[in-house]
Structure 1
Amino acid sequence: MKSTEQKFKTIEVDGKQRYYEPAPKGISAANFRKVVESRRSVRKFTDKPIPKEVLDDCLDMALLAPCSSGLQPWDFYVVKTPAKKAKLVTACLGQLAAKTAQELIVCVARVDRVSEFSKKMIKEWPMPEVPTLVRRYYQLIPYNYAPGPLNSFAMMKKAASNVGGLIAPLPRGPYTRSEVELWAAKSAALACENLVLAFRAHGFDTCMMEGYDEARVRKLLKLSDDAFPIMVIGAGERADDGVFWPQIRFERELFVHEI
């Protein structure tokens, strides 16, 4: 919860006091590159356990991932119970990465907390005063992201945006249920990336698995229709033969375009 006693740094910009959070110094691009380049999809792990403090730190860093409107549409299920872990391995088609992982974590995207978390953003705004535009923004978000029965609201909003977009640039969506799910999935995937890089920085490795029986994973986690698994992440210490082949990346020119 926010505290009225908290002090904030400010700086004057164009005659107005603005919040000031300078970029930290001394961050090593070389070390970050080492983390990124050494991150591999590890298919076999050793029996070395991941210390709880390391697991917790990695999860905390995952929760710092960028997310749309700060709404954090994700959950992380750390499957610890042996019986449930065995069921998750089966749901992951018995993959070696799942069988040998010291930790199995399921990242779930959620679309049912947009209204709740919009209110929470206003309630827990970190500054003493919530700017009027910010308050209005979060008050409108639940309506903007509500598709309505059979996407009825979505179609009306989409038609209105198409007309308004002829006059000025407008955000186009998310409108339909599937578009709202995509919205949540994008933010959840960013959190997954934070998680695997955090494990690598701690000296552990991961395998991000999309090959699983979604119905079985849903049943195991008792997910509602408004929550869906994004991926299962196996984590542990890399075995000597845990990486099966060299990494393959196509030519940079296929992906990077200057216009």
Structure 2
Amino acid sequence: MNAKSGIAPNLTLDEFRKVVCSRRSVRRFTEEPVPDHVLDDCLELAMLAPNSSNLQPWEFYVVRTPDLKAKLAEACLGQNAAKTAPVLIAVVARTDTWRKHSRMALEQWPEEKLPGIVEKYYSKIVPIHYNQGPFGLFGAAKKAAGLFVGLTRPVPRGPYSPNEMKIWATKSTALAAENLMLALRAHGYDSCPMEGFDECRVRRLLKLLKKGQVTMILAAGKRSEKGVYNRQYRFDKDDLVHYL
């Protein structure tokens, strides 16, 4: 791909379809380990996911140490996917890295010349847009201003609170998690995203900071013969897709 011109390469739809359609939530894995080079490549592809303002509010905790993995599987309520997977990956959304990452966005700008609009966005707009202030007071003031200005023209509606920041970070992090799962499948491995876990115990095990939100625990490895419990099905598309 020519990054400068933005010209996209020709792709094979059939291969992409095979990756998407063969991805399943695998509940039992073999003991075969996931090679380091596969994990590294999958995580790099995960980090290419689209995300809000390119602030990349995610972290990935790759757990392979047997003792820690066993404790993490217990915190995942003893699910078979967690107990049998050779690797567990905690996908964490961060609400507190936007300041640091906005500076990094300027410092690591990939072009020779930094556009003025980009510098203005990260140095002036981002500190206002994502800052909630002490006790969320600045966020509340922004919400009031947004309600007033929004009477006459479109305006951004949030994030206006610490809780809305969690939603903001989780949306981008979930996109990265999907990239990670599809990358594993493309490499011939499988995964199972788990929401069923004791977050307090997971936090303690991984020594997470308070503002790190555990979006999911991802089990990864080679699927066993009984790794998929049932045939895949989805609800009627006509009920869920609306053309306007």
Calculate the TM-score normalised by the size of structure 2.
0.96
Runs of 4+ off more than 3 Å? none
CA distance in 2, matches of 1:132, 1:116: 20
Unaligned 5+ segments in structure 1 are 1-8, 11-18
Deviations 1:211-257 (A, max 9, x none): 00000001111111111111000011111111001112000012110
For residue 183 of structure 1, the aligned residue among 168, 180, 197 is 168
Partner of 1:142: 127
Q: Residue 53 in 1 paired to residue 37 in 2? A: yes
Deviations 1:106-125 (A, max 9, x none): 00000111111101111111
CA distance in 2, matches of 1:77, 1:43: 20
CA distance in 1, matches of 2:51, 2:94: 13
Letter of the 1:62 counterpart: A
3-state SS, counterpart of residue 41 of structure 1: coil
Q: How does 1:1-259 map to 2 (within 5 A)?
A: 20-25=5-10, 27-139=11-123, 140-259=125-244
CA distance in 2, matches of 1:179, 1:195: 25
Letter of the 2:212 counterpart: A
- How far the C-alpha of 1:142 sits from its partner, in A, is 2.2
Unaligned 5+ segments in structure 2 are none
Higher-Rg structure is 1
- How far the C-alpha of 1:202 sits from its partner, in A, is 0.7
Deviations 1:38-85 (A, max 9, x none): 100000011111111111111111111111111110000001222211
Task: Tell me how many residue pairs correspond in the alignment.
Answer: 242
- How far the C-alpha of 1:167 sits from its partner, in A, is 2.3
3-state SS, counterpart of residue 178 of structure 1: helix
With 80-89 and 98-107 compared, the bigger mean Cα shift is at 80-89
CA distance in 1, matches of 2:127, 2:224: 47
CA distance in 2, matches of 1:200, 1:58: 9
Q: Is the 8 A contact 2:57 2:97 kept in 1?
A: yes
